[in-house]
Amino acid sequence: MTVDLAQRRAELLALRERLLAAAEEIAAGDDGDAEINSAAGDQHLADHAGGMLDREVDESLEENVEHVVGEIDAALARIDAGSYGICAACGDPIPEERLAAVPYATLCLADRRRLERG
């Protein structure tokens, strides 16, 4: 396997930073108007529903960012431990192409497909 670990670490750290910045922008953009309250009696119910949907989407995105940042942190720990790029299921090297596409991957493509199929 010819994975450049220094380059991969830099990519993971850059991705982590971008995700956290995006999550911060989402949180900063939350103006709290998604909740229905009695002070907004002149607003239409559809306006409230749209605001609530926006907030739910934002919360889902924030949760996904937290999940992916956790995966990135785990990948960085695997680099430190010397186990980065090794499939957690079969122990074979994860192809460079897969790591380039998903730098925090823990499974080779065959094992990922098996997992998804159940």
**Residues 57-94: pLDDT tens digits?**
767 777 889 999 999 999 999 999 999 999 999 999 99
Residue 38 pLDDT: 47
The confidence score (pLDDT) of residue 50 equals: 66
Classify domain 5-34+42-117 by CATH number: 1.20.120.910
- Tens-place pLDDT, residues 39-67: 555 566 666 666 677 677 767 777 889 99
Terminal CA-CA length for the chain: 28
The reported pLDDT for the residue numbered 58 is 66
Helix, strand, coil share (%) of the chain residues, nearest 5: 70, 0, 30
